[in-house]
Every structure is written in structure tokens, then in C-alpha cells.
Amino acid sequence: MTDTDQERDRNKETAFYKFTQQTLPACKPVLTPAWVITIFLFTGCIFIPVGLVTLRASRSVVEIVDRYDAECVPEPFRIDKVSYVQDDSIPKNCSRFLKVHKYMKAPIYIYYQLDNYYQNHRRYVKSRSDQQLLHGRKYHGTSSCQPVEFNNDHAIVPCGLVAWSLFNDTFKFIRERAELKVNRKNIAWKSDRDHKFGKKVYPYNFQNGTLIGGGKLNPRIPLSDQEDLIVWMRISALPSFRKLYGRIEEDLDVDDVVVVHLMNNYNTYSFSGKKKLVLSTSSWLGGKNDFLGLAYVFVGSSSLILALVFMLLHLRYRR
Amino acid sequence: MPLTLDISLSQTRHCNNRKENPPIAIIPTSSFPWDPGFVFGMDSKTPVENLYSIEPALSSSSRRSNFSIQSKASGGNSIREVTFTDLGSKPVRYGSHGADSETNALSQKEINDEDARLVHINDPVKTNERFEFAGNSIRTAKYSILTFVPRNLFEQFHRVAYIYFLVIAVLNQLPQLAVFGRGASILPLAIVLLVTAVKDAYEDYRRHRSDRIENNRLASVLVNYQFQQKKWKNIQVGEIIKLHANETIPCDIVLLSTSDPTGVAYVQTINLDGESNLKTRYAKQETLTKIPEEGKITGLIKCEKPNRNIYGFQANMEIDGKRLSLGPSNIILRGCELKNTAWAVGVAVYAGRETKVMLNSSGAPSKRSRLETHMNLEIIILSLFLIALCTVVSVCAAVWLRRHRDELDFLPFYRRKDFSDGEEDDYNYYGWGMEIFFTFLMSVIVFQIMIPISLYISMELVRVGQAYFMIRDTQMYDESSNSRFQCRALNINEDLGQIKYVFSDKTGTLTENKMEFQCASIWGVDYNGGKASSVDGYYVQVDGKVLRPKMKVKTDPELLQFARSGKETKEGSHVYDFFLALAACNTIVPLIIDTSDPTVKLIDYQGESPDEQALVYAAAAYGFMLIERTSGHIVIDIQGERQRFNVLGLHEFDSDRKRMSVILGFPDKSVKLFVKGADTSMFSVIERSLNVNIIRTTEAHLHSYSSSGLRTLVVGMRELSTSEFEVWHSAFETASTALMGRASLLRKVASNIENNLCVLGASGIEDKLQKGVPEAIESLRTAGIKVWVLTGDKQETAISIGYSSKLLTSKMTQFIINSNSKESCRKSLEDAIIMSKKLMTISDTANNAGGTSGAGLTPVALIIDGTSLVYILDSELEETLFQLACNCSVVLCCRVAPLQKAGIVALVKNRTSDMTLAIGDGANDVSMIQMADVGVGISGQEGRQAVMASDFAMGQFRFLVSLLLVHGHWNYQRMGYMILYNFYRNAVFVLLLFWYVLFTCFTLTTAITEWSSVLYSVIYTSVPTIVVGILDKDLSRRTLLKDPQLYGAGHRQECYNKRLFWITMIDTFWQSAVVFFIPLLAYWGSTIDGSSIGDLWTIAVVILVNLHLAMDVIRWNWITHAAIWGSIIATCICVIIIDALPSLVGYWAIFKIARTGLFWLCLLAIIVVALVPRFVVKVLYQLYTPCDVQIAREAEKFQSQRATGALEVEMNPILDPPRR
């Protein structure tokens, strides 16, 4: 017992000694040509297949994108789209015909896409109160919500620019006279519904002010169930973004024509933003985006070339 | 000028014998006290041809040329007191030292009332009524409880870095600019401040505690004619204090009387300067008889204002209407201990913080490393870069605002107008101009870490770590003195890797400064021991007790035989006289020490001159053992028989005479004068007509001694007739009581009697080379470091030490310059330059003709002496000397004064950008150590003055090799890499933020959460930097020592230079773009939300910078692994924690995004794409244009013949330095 203790002590001492003398056992990798070539070959061999798989996944996604913001303004109003969209007396309905050119398997995700819309603008991002969304009128520190904070000295619930500018175009999908069933539940993050938006917070005085920014909310539904709002309030990272509207839970066949009845309520005309409707299937990768696949293939092939170059260099200039 | 002159005089006298060390002082070169009758090595008009001899053409070995006549005094002897005994009458001391009256005359002029402090003896009330002199309580603590917070904060904010932090934090508090939340912006600064404050508080607490102990010690103080115990803190200036043996002295005290009838007191100054030998201090004879308990002592001491010179003190005392001058030998300083003296009484003149020891207790000098100076330039570039980024952002923002100015009111994501109050207001909009201005400030806040403030903190931590390893290094641990390496300056570690010039002291630095008696020439016979010498310790038995000297000395059997034979034979009597002279003619105090064996006692010879100690030990070994010394007599045990000699007179050493003498009254009533001194001064007073042969052979012996590196002294004697003695005695008495010009009168008296001497012989004392010195010098030279030796020794000794230490080799051509006028100096220098150029061209052509052999270069050595330097330094000749010195591979300066040493260092330092290092051990090296970029002190025999002034201190010269070649190289490499890496690490993050700003309407939104921004340089990436900065090693110690050329990496600034900086910045640009744009393109037009992509960016950038570091790490041990992988894991944990807080925007984002394959694919792509260019460049560089270090690394790894061969071929030649 004591012997082993002593031994351990001695070991500890020597380890400490080695530490102080900077002679701890260490691995000293040196880049030899063999290593370098192996590394590049290895990278190439990994990246090219991964890239191809990724590319394939991206290509397998079927996507229908329809820009409707311009077309959905009736001919007479096209000179002044802003006043058209702001005029409540004019009906805003509009129909779009989408032709399916490839079989789309359910679930088909419905997105609306906004371009040139800076949801990540500093003023916009700050203009919200997460505490109020959770606690409702009980929470008073809503100063961050300016300039949409009070209405008749009552704090607006939900306050802030983000909520105020809620997207409010609506879409109805009809195929062969039958309305496609659109599932609009579970489009927001569950974590947001459960922990960020109050179950007992009701938007009782929302969008009552002089300036209407966007969608209204049903005051009888608590915020935690207002999924459109929850989706909208998850600020997008980039000025061109999609937000989930719902899911079509039926497959679409080739050459099906989907008629979209939409209400073109949301004003992007004042800042020449674009509105698009997107129907897209999904892969393990997400949406349709070839970039990463191409990048992988490119990096993989570059690595192989580099491996080759180093091999030649090594043969040519052997040290 | 008179002041400095006076100090130099008194100090020369005071310390004349400890090598050449007038303390920190102030010897103006113009009044340099060399012997005017100095024999110069060469006539100033000697043609140049005599100077150098060069073997024709290309012979690799040029003949050594040695011209200088060996001549100069070797430091010599000291006489501390002039004592006189009137054959049995009561001993009287005449003045405490010779320079009295001069000092007196000068001091009356110097100490005028404004500069003086007046101390009324035994009247503290009156002393202190007009001036508030400091009390004796000391206070080293900085803070009290009340002042801690403000003062500590004030001190901490002296650092520019903290002010930058603070300004940014304050800016962030303005509502218009609040980029980060309050907590996030203040937290890092608060943490740093708090940690430092706690550390300071703890240190201060310890200081408070030690202050309290110190202040409450007791001393006996005269109150109402009685000595009472009083606490130290209550002692006042003017009070009379009584000290007992072994007590510590509470304040600076002028001695009034001591237990010794002649007023001598011995003190040990180990706490003050580290010297353990006893020093003698004197009370004035006029005050000796006063007994404070009986009669009131009244008097007035007028002394200089408190200053830090512990070897200088200037005052005068008016007592009983007489005016006496006081010097450094009359004062005992706080912190010393009274030894061998039963009691001493004195009056306090400086107390508390005004004592010399307190004035000297300042911290280490603060220097700034070269790397840091270079780095500051790059920091300025980064600041400009920061400003550029901010300008881009604000200009873009301005353009955007202008283009959309009509839409802003109702833009959903801008909404300038606020309608909530019913009236239209601009909400949070201050006009176009102000918005731009705010945008600019906000971008400064967001991009703040572009200026890597954390770098300064990391650098400090890294230096502490490096210092720890240097201190713990067993290779730099001196077993003999049990001293570790000391790191006194913390901020110039990396300078050790770039040293180009080493200036070294000789005695005590290259040599041990342990003098050893080697050989003697007695009456023309050389007794040099030879092989038969033995080291039997001599001892005597007294009353059954054995008494033996503390140190054993090698003895020559033949000489021992003669010494034992007594005076009967002719040789015997000469030997008797010689050793008697050695034993008597000195100022050594023998101390008898008990040993563990009660029957054995040791004699320890205490004295300030190691030479004298060696001589007395030698005499003891031959049976002439000095047993007792009082002011009136000495007792010498001669071959077991105790004899008492009266010391009738003692003429102390001075730098003009360069000798000392003692007049002994023998028991048989005869009176003899013994003189000991440097050869030059001795041969002028030796009766030439007598014993011509003996003088000649002695001279020859002396020459051979000094050529073999020994320090020589000549001993002579003369018997005095009664009449002669009487004449001398009366002259001596008049001189020593004279009020004016006492010193010169005494000197004259001494010169009058010291003549017509009969030469007894000469001694050779060896100052041994320290262990490992030749190898160390060899290594340093191979490393491309120029070693200059600056010594106070004479030329022959210096040259011979130069040879034995391998500084000089037989291949070298030597230029010896010793001239005594400016013109001859100029001529010698110019000729030497022409010669050296000729040599260079010869070797150049040789090189061209002979192809690759680099050995064709003839190394050149320059040997120059102090007198020539007097003419050269501070004149236009400096430049010439510098040019010449640059061509020389070795420079040896002999007989230089302390200030000249500094002058030589300055000569090099001011003219090149190369780093200089000065190494020395004595007080005489202080000025040089302080002048050089890096000062290294040797903690050796000479006390702690050099160590106190140094940046690094160590036990032995040879550790310099480890210090420079190993630790210096490591430190430099580590620090250089760390700085570049820090620039990269912060810039990559800033650029990442910047790219995103371009996609947010230039409004400085950050996708990365503010907490991650703050934690990035605190937690995410800091530890690996520091660990690598402390632990990474490019090469092992063995390789570095084996191939000193590797040190050239530092000279060539391979680890940190402009080119590397710009390459790093380009790489940074690429990497940040990759980190940003791959996710951007991959997620373009998707539902990705800001927090999720922010998390991706955070994790990607952290992994990237850590892998970047990992790619450059050379040696992976478990600590490195833990730091790098640990940091990545810590980052993930932090991100997870941040995203698990529902109150933050990014709630749950990481969990969402990490579940997607795209996230991981992006991460992998980012890492690979970002690092590939760097990797390719690194590989190409390493494989096809490898540097020395790289080759050595591979050799180290593979140990293959191929790599070693490559090493030898490809190693950059450094021996030939390019002219600047």
C-alpha cells in the first residue's frame, strides 16, 4: 500500500518535473510530402461523394415559385400600387395558376417569400418585447417596442414593429375545383409556442392604432396559438427570406394545375419589395439549393488536383 | 562638478578594493582618476606597422601582436583606517579617513542651507519643528480600506487598454448607441478589474502585515538621559539611539560612539546590498568620549537631503564649536545588522521612508520589448483598418438613408414616424448627419475587438508562464549558491531571442571572483607549486583546541619547507618577511567561528577585498596565521608561536599611489614598513640600485603571471631607523590633525616614507574562470552573438582571460589600441579600420576564389583600454570606433570605469537596431546593465547591486546560453506567433460581423448574439492562445544547444515581421469571407432565422480559429489537446446555454439547426475551404524553402542522415555580419 503510494508520488513528481522542464511527452507532427498527399487525397475522396449526394438531394426537390406582387395589382392601379394596397375599400383578391411540372410528394410546403425586406434591420429587430409576449399585460417594460408601444395609454399586445408588420396575405389552393387541404398547424417552432409566447396572452388591442402595419389577430386566441405571428416573429437572417405558411398534405401530379386564390393585403410596394409564393417538397437537406453540393464537388476535385500537384512536385524536387 | 568629484573620491576610497567598483556613481570621464604617470602601451606616435602584424595573405593564423607594456596597477589594496600607536600610549585615531579636509572644504560649499537638513543631536523637537522630517514608521502598503477602491481603480486605469474598454463601454451606455446590452458590455471589463483588484488587495494586505511587524519592533532610545525601549515607528530624527550586537538598525544613524575604544563598529549589510562580509564604520573621535547618559550632547548635523545612494553620504557636524566632516563611513543604514560590536550609539538622521534602504526599494525597471514596439505599429495599422471598416459602414448607411429618405417614415422595418401620441414625431431619428455619426460610433463598438485588447492581457499571462518555466529550469539553477534564475522584468522575455550583442563584465561574471593564491615570487625565486602542490589544511593547536583557516590553500612544498625553517637561512628570512607582509599589510578582520566539533575552531577572514582575503589565507597556509586585529596591534601565529606586533601606522590605499603600507613595531623594538601594491606603482618606489637581478627576475615573473591570467601584487619592505620613524611620526600627526587638505597631506606623508624599498617578492592570485565559460562563449559566438568583454582589469590579464575563455583565438588578428591623446586615438582607429577593411577584402577575394569555404575570413579582435575610451566616447571618434568594432568579431575593453561601460553599450545601442544585453555582477556593472536593452545580473560574490538593477538574474555566466539560445528562442517564437495569431483571431471575427452588416442595411445588427461576441475573446478562444504561447516548442533544448545557429531566427526576425503580418491579414480576409459566405449562399432564400445562422457562424468561427492554431502547433502534449479541444467544447456548451434561455431571442435555435444536415455540411465545408490556402502555402514553404528551424525540426523528428546533411548545407551563415 505504502509502496504503491510512494510510487504514485514519485510518478507525480516526475510528471511535474517534466512539466516544469517543458519535456512533457508530446507528439510532433511534421508535414511530410506523404502526409500532405494523403490529406489531400482523403479530402478529395470524402468531398466529392458528399457533394454528389448533396447535389442529388437538392435536385430531387421540386419547387414552384410564383412572384405575384406585381401581377396581383389590377391593371388600373398599377401606377400607384401603394394607394391600391392601402385602400381598404378595394377588394384584394387575386388568382394565380400554378402548373406542376414534376410529381410532388406530400408534404408540400407552402412558403411566402419576401425579397428586399430587411427583417434584420437593427430598428426592427429591437422593436419587440419578448417578456411581454410571454407575460402579456403584466409586463410593463415595453420601452423597446417603440414606436409601436402604446395605444391610448395602454400597452399594445403584442407590441413592437415586428408584430405590427405581420404578414397578412392569405392563400387558398384549389385543384380541379376541390380545395386542397392546407395544414396550418405546427408551422412554428414548438419551443417558441411553449416558452416564448404566453398561453394566456391575448392580443386584445392589436392593430387598433391609426396606422395599420399588417395582419390582425383574433383577440380570443392566445399568442401561443397564433402560429403565423410566431413564425413571423422569428426574425429572418437575410433580406430575402421565406416563411412557412402551411403544408399541403396531398401529392401533386405532373401537369396538375393549382389555382391559388390569394388576398394581396400586404404592402411591399412602398419599398419595392417582392412577394413570392413557393410550393416546395423537401429533402433531408432542406430546400432546393445546389450551392453546397457544387461547392463540395469543387473542393473535392481541387483537393485531388492539389494531391496530384504535390505528388509531381515531390517526384520532381525530391529533397 | 565639485560634488560629483567629491563623491567619486570618497567612493573610490571607500570601495577601492572590491574590483573596480565605485558604486552606482558618477565618475565623469573627464576627471577620471587615472595615474597621470601611466605607462601607455604604445607611444602615440608609434607607426601603425607596429600595431598589427598580419600574416601575409591568407594564412588562417595571424600572429598575435602584443605591445602593451604590462604595467597598470591591479586594483589593489585598501587601507581603511589610519591608526597610530605611540609605543604603549593610549590609542588615538586621527580622523576617520583621509579625504576629510577635502570633503570638508567642498562640503561647506556644497551643502548650502536649501539643500541640507539640519539635525540637532538629541533634540528631536527642535530638529523637527521647522521641517517635518518623516517619522520612522514605514508604509510599503499602497492602500487603506477607504482609499482602496478609488486608488486601485485609478491605478488600473493607467493602462491604455482599460481606458479603451471603458470608453467603449461608456459609449455603449448611450441609448442611441446601445449595441450590446448593459451587462454584456460592462461584464468583461468588470471581471478584469475585479480580478486585478482582488490580487492587489491581497498583496497589500500582506504588505500591511509586514509593515505592522516592522513598525512595532523595539529599539532603545535616549529619553531624559536614559535609554528606553521605544517602538521603531516612534523614533524621530535627532534622537539618540543605542544599538546592541546583532540588532537590526532601525533608521539611518550617524555613529557617535561604540564599544570599541577607537570607535569602530562592524556592520553586516546583507539586507542592503547582499554582501555578507563585515564592513567597518567609525564614530568620530571627537564624539567618542561623550556619554549620553551623563552629559547632554549638543550639536548640529548638517547633511544632504535624503537620496538613494547607499555608498554616499555627505554631512558635517558641529560639536563643541568644532566642525567635523562626515562621510559614508560614519553612517550606518537601516536594515544592516550590528556585528562584533557590543554596542553603538548614534543619532538618527534619516528615518522611515527617507532612509536609504527605503528609497532604494523600488521595483524592477520597466522596459518594453522590441517585439511589442513593432507590434504597436501593427496595432496602429489595425486601428486604421478599424476606422476604414467603420467608415465603409457609415458611408453605405448614409447612401442607403439618402436613397430611401422618402420611404423611411412608413417603412415597416424602419418606421421613422411615431404616431402613438396622436401627433407625428420622428422616432429615434436625429437627422441624416447624426444618424451617420451614430452609425460610425456603433460600428466602433461592434468592431471593437479589432484592436486586440485581450492581446495585452494574454501577453502578460504568457510572460508570467514563460517566466515560470525559466525560473523552474534546472539547467539554470546554481547549486553552489542555491540560487534560481530570477525574472525581475516581466515584459521583455521575448527580447532574449533577438540579442545581437552581449556585453560582459569579467571578474565575477566570466570568472568566479573567488581569489585563489597561486604562486609567489620571493626574492627572485618563483614558487609556483608545480605538480607537487598539496592542499593540506594548516592548523595550529592552542590549549588543546585546533584553530584552522576556513579556506584551504594549495601550497608549494618547497616554499612550505622554507617557511617552516624559520629565519635562520637566507631564503627562510626572505620567506618570513614576505609572508609577514602578506599577513600584516591588509585590513582583514579575523573572526573566530565555532564549529560543530568543540575542539575545532575556524578562522574566517572578513574583508572587502577578495585579493587580500586570498593573501591572508595563503599566509595562514604557510604558517603565518593572522589571529587578531585591533586598531593598535595585530597578533600573528607564526609557525605555532603567537607574536604580537604593534601597528604603528597604516597608510590606506588610494588610487593615486595604488599601494598601501603598514608600519609594524616588532617585539624587538625594530620598526619595519611593509608596502603592498600594484607593480607599476611599486617599481617606482623600489630602490633600483639594490638587487638589480632580483628586481629583474621579479619583473619577469610578474609578466609571466599576468600573461597566464593571474592578478599580481608586489610586496616590498624597509626597515626604519628611529630617527626616520620620529620624522614620519610627527609629520603623520600634523597631517592627520590638519583641518585643511588632510587627505593630500596624508598622502604626501605616505609617499615620503614609501620609498627606497627593498623588493620582497610578488604574488599571483588566480581568479578562476567559471565553469562552462569557454563553451558558453563559443556557443554564443556560433549563434551569431557578438561578445564584448568590458573589464577593469589590466590588459594582459584581460587578454589571457580572453584566451582561456575562448573569446580570443590564435587565428584572430588583434588590434590593440591604447593611446593617451585624442589624436593618437584617431590615428590608431583609422589605421585599424583600413587594416580591417583590407583583411575583409582579402578574405572576400579568398572566398570568391576558393569557392564555398567560409573559413577564409580572418576574425578580428579589438582590444582597447579605458584611457583611449576617455578620448573616444562622447566625441566624433565614437562613430569610427563603432565602425571598427562592427568589423571585429571580438571586442575587449580593459580598465574601463563603470560609466564607460555604459558608454560603450550606448555606443552600440544608439547606432544599431540590434538588441544588446549586458551581464555583470558588481555595482560597477549597474550602469551598463541599466543601459542595455536587456540587463542580466549575476548573483555572485559581489552583492546584489547588479541583481537589483537587472531584468534577469542568475547564478552563473554559462546559464546565459540556456537563457538566450533555448528560452530566448522559445519565448521569441511563441510570442511572435501569439501576436500574429491574436491579430488574426480578432480580425476574423470582426470581418465576419462586418460582412453581415452589409446585408442588414448597414445597421450593425449582429446575427451572433451579443454574449457570444463578448465571450469570443474571453472564453471561446483565449485559453489555447495562452497555452500555446506558454508551452509550444518549435525545437527541443538539445537541438537548440547543439546548433546555436538556430538562434539566428530571432536575428532575422523570422517569427514576427511586416511580411508575416500582411500575409496573416490576407489569410484573415479569406477565412472570414469563407466563414460568412458559405452559410449565406447555402441558406439564401431559405427560412433560416438570424439566431440559427448566428449560431452556425459562431461555432464555425471558433472551430476555425482553434483548428488554425492546431495546424500551427508544433508539439502536442495533453495540455495543448485539452486547451484546444476543450475550448471548442466549451464554446458549444456556452452556445447551448445561451440558446436554452427563453428570455433571449435565439431560444432553442442551436437545437433546431444542429438537427439539420445542412448545418454540419456547412461547418465541414467552412473549415476545409478556409484552411486550405493556408495549408497549401505552409506546405509549399516548408517543403521547398524551409528555414533553419524547419530543417532542424525534421532532423529532430527523423534523425536521418539526409536531414542532418541538409541542415549543414542549408544553415544560413551568420558568422559574417553584414555591415549596417
Q: Tens of pLDDT along B570-608?
A: 878 888 888 888 888 888 888 777 777 777 888 888 776
Q: Does residue B965 contact residue B1047 with C-beta atoms inside 8 Å?
A: yes
ipTM computed for the complex = 0.95
Q: Which residue has the higher pLDDT, B967 or B542?
A: B967
Q: What is the mean pLDDT of residues B697-710?
A: 83
In which band, very low, low, confident or very high, does the pLDDT at B988 lie, cut at 50, 70 and 90? very high
Domain architecture of chain B: domains with CATH: 137-217 (no CATH), 235-360 (2.70.150.10), 486-509+770-839+857-954 (3.40.50.1000), 515-766 (3.40.1110.10), 969-1193 (no CATH)
Does A27 have pLDDT greater than 80? Answer: yes
CB count within 10 Å of CB A317 equals 10
* Arithmetic mean of pLDDT, B481-494: 83
Would the pLDDT of B1209 be above 60? no
pLDDT digits (tens, 9 = 90+) for A43-74: 999 999 999 999 999 999 999 999 998 888 88
Digit-coded pLDDT (tens) for B228-245: 888 888 888 888 888 888
Report, as an integer, the average pLDDT of B969-992.
94
Q: Annotated binding residue at B207?
A: no
Residue whose C-alpha is closest to residue B81's, from B276, B326, B342, B329: B329
> Which triple of cell numbers denotes residue B229?
525601549
> For B419, which of A21, A29, A210 is closest by C-beta distance?
A210
Is B1147 within 8 Å of A192 when comparing Cβ atoms?
yes
User: Residue A246: its pLDDT value, please?
Assistant: 94
Three cell numbers at B94? Answer: 586621527
Nearest to B861 by CA among B894, B895, B836, B828: B836
Better pLDDT: B275 or B185? B185
Report, as an integer, the average pLDDT of B1161-1172: 96
Q: How many CA atoms lie within 13 A of B984 on its CB side?
A: 30
| Grid cell locating B56 | 601575409
**In this predicted model, which residue has the larger pLDDT, A185 or B31?**
A185
Question: Which chain A positions have a beta carbon within 8 Å of B409's beta carbon?
Answer: none
Beta bridge partners of A248: A108, A182
Q: Taking CB atoms and an 8 Å cutoff, what residues of chain B touch A265? A: none
Among chain A residues, the shortest Cα distance to B468 is held by A20
Determine the pLDDT at residue B793: 72
Specify whether B505 is catalytic: yes
Residue A209: name the closest of A253, A275, A165 by CA.
A165
Confidence tier at B844 by pLDDT (50, 70, 90): low
Q: What is the pLDDT of residues B806-842, one digit of tens each?
A: 888 877 888 888 887 888 888 888 888 888 888 777 6
DSSP string, B848-891: HHHTT-GGGPPPEEEEEEHHHHHHHTTSTHHHHHHHHHHH-SEE
Name the least confident of B362-371, B946-955, B1090-1099: B362-371
What pLDDT, on the 0 to 100 scale, is given for residue B529? Answer: 64
Residue B537's pLDDT band (cuts 50, 70, 90): low
Q: What is the pTM of this model?
A: 0.80
Name the residue among B1071, B1060, B1032 with its Cα closest to residue B1187.
B1060
The pLDDT, as a whole number, for residue B854 is: 41
Mean pLDDT of B990-997: 95
Q: Which residues in chain B touch residue A196, judged by CB atoms under 8 angstroms apart? A: 1142, 1147
Whether residue B1142 has pLDDT greater than 50: yes
pLDDT at residue B466 in the model: 92
Q: Which of A62-66, B348-352, B904-908 has the highest mean pLDDT?
A: A62-66
CA A260/CA A244 separation, integer angstroms: 16
- Average pLDDT on A2-29 reads 74
B669 has pLDDT over 90: no
Q: Is B469 on the interface with A (CB under 8 A)?
A: yes
What percentage of chain B exceeds 90 in pLDDT? 20
Cβ–Cβ under 8 Å, residues B992 and B1006: no
Which of B260, B505, B1034, B1188 is catalytic? The answer is B505
Average pLDDT over residues B1030-1051: 91
Using CA atoms, how far apart are residues B95 and B111, in angstroms rounded to an integer? 21
Q: What's the confidence (pLDDT) of residue A6?
A: 60
Nearest CA in chain B to A110: B1087
Cα B441 from Cα B1000, distance rounded (Å): 17
Do strands B659-665 and B641-651 pair parallel, antiparallel, or not at all (unpaired)? antiparallel
Please indicate if the annotation marks B507 as binding a ligand.
yes
Best of B1089, B1177, B1190 to mutate (most A CBs within 10 Å, chain A): B1089
Tell me the domain boundaries of chain A: 30-61+285-318, 64-281
User: How far, in Å, CA of A8 to CA of A24, rounded?
Assistant: 17
pLDDT of residue B614: 86
Is the Cβ–Cβ distance between B760 and B752 less than 8 Å?
A: no
Say what the pLDDT of residue B103 is: 38
Residue B150 has pLDDT above 70, yes or no: yes
With 80 as the cut, is the pLDDT of residue B763 above it? yes
Instruction: Report the first-to-last Cα separation within chain A, whole angstroms.
Output: 56
pLDDT of A14 reads: 81
Three cell numbers written together for B900 = 564607460
Give residue B534's pLDDT. 61
pLDDT band at A1 (very low <50, low <70, confident <90, very high): very low
pLDDT digits (tens, 9 = 90+) for B268-313: 776 666 556 677 788 877 777 777 666 667 788 888 888 767 677 8
Tell me whether residues B407 and A28 touch, CB distance under 8 A: no
What phi and psi values does residue B589 have, to the nearest 5 degrees?
-110, 120
Asked whether residue B422 carries a pLDDT value surpassing 80, the answer given is: no
Q: Which residue has the cell 548640529?
A: B300
**Separation between Cα atoms, residue B13 and residue B661, nearest integer Å:** 15
- Res. B48 pLDDT band, cuts 50 70 90: very low
Dump pLDDT digits (tens) for B79-134. 333 333 333 333 333 333 333 333 333 434 445 566 678 888 887 888 777 777 77
Higher pLDDT, B1013 or B363: B1013
Looking at residue A58, its pLDDT comes to 93
- Chain A, residues 231-250, CB within 8 A of chain B, namely 234-244
Find, among B941, B952, B926, the residue nearest to B484 by Cα.
B952
Residues B686-708: what's their mean pLDDT? 83
**How much is the pLDDT for B1211?**
47
Q: Does B1038 touch chain A (CB under 8 A)?
A: no
* Averaged pLDDT for residues B1014-1025: 89
Bridge-based pairing of strands B710-720 and B671-677 is antiparallel
Is the pLDDT higher at B232 or at A208?
B232
DSSP B895-942: S--HHHHHHHHHHHHHH-SSEEEEEE-SGGGHHHHHHSSEEEEE-STT
Task: Dig out the grid coordinates for A124 from the structure.
Answer: 426592427
Kindly report the CA angle at A292 between A290 and A298, in degrees rounded to 5?
100
Q: How confident is the model at residue B78, as a pLDDT? A: 32
> What are the grid coordinates assigned to A297, written together?
464537388
- In the predicted structure, residue B1160 carries a pLDDT above the cut 50: yes
Whether residue B653 is predicted with pLDDT greater than 80 in this model: the reply is: no
Grid coordinates of B343? 554596542
Q: Looking at per-residue confidence, does B141 or A116 come out higher?
A: A116
